[in-house]
Amino acid sequence: MLVARHLVKTFPKASSAVINDVSLEIKAGEFISMIGRSGSGKSTLLYLLSTLDRSFQGEVLYDGRNIQEMDVEEVHRLRNEKIGFVFQFHYLLSELSALENVLLPTRKASPGDYLTLARALLKEVGLEGKESRRPAGLSGGEQQRVAVARALIMRPTFLFADEPTGNLDSANGEIVMGLFKKFNKEFGTTIVYVTHDQEFAARASRSIHLIDGKIAT
């Protein structure tokens, strides 16, 4: 379980808190969308929950452990073993193939047959036969699907996604959302995603609506 208590996030030049006393619980296996107008704080909250930003007031607890009390190595281990990320931009390394990009998170992992798993994930996201292509040889939608496979290679407990369909056409957006739903249902991956798309937001089992840094009730 992921628990956040009284989160407050401020920026030096902001006139008010970007995240203002937010508390919530996310249970294992949930499929959650995070919605709100631009500037409402939804992406900031996602970064706090996913450990990417630890500069805040309040608590974020993974299975009862406060991430503020973890050292750098513990946080890195938590991210590598339990957390996957998908962003609006795919952030693939241009010099690596699709397969090599998917395998990046496994470099410091315990031994395992990740090569077989990486190939299986690329097949799952519809990229079988394109494993050796570099990002420049893939469409934008295909690159984002490589990013999804990369986020799932460690079989994370939590997958966080910030506008994962924001740069995609409707067809590729449907593919990415379908993949999220599939992995949530089949593997129990807890998924939290930020979106501006009301239709995609409605696919979630629960929506968190932010207004001016607070959860709307």
Domain that holds residue 183: 2-215
Domain count, the chain: 1
Please identify every stretch of the chain with a pLDDT value under 50, giving residue numbers as ranges. Answer: none
Full 3-state SS string of the chain: CEEEEEEEECCCCCCCCCEEEEEEEECCCCEEEEECCCCCCHHHHHHHHCCCCCCCEEEEEECCEEHHHCCHHHHHHHHHHHEEEECCCCCCCCCCCHHHHHHHHHCCCCCCCHHHHHHHHHHHCCCCCCCCCCHHHCCHHHHHHHHHHHHHCCCCCEEEEECCCCCCCHHHHHHHHHHHHHHHHHHCCEEEEECCCHHHHCCCCEEEEEECCEECC
CATH code of the domain in which 20 resides? 3.40.50.300
Per-residue model confidence as pLDDT tens digits over 137-151: 999 999 999 999 999
pLDDT tens digits for 148-166? 999 999 889 999 999 988 8
Output the pTM of the full model.
0.90
The pair phi, psi for residue 215, each rounded to 5°, is -80, 125
Residue-level pLDDT at 111:
63
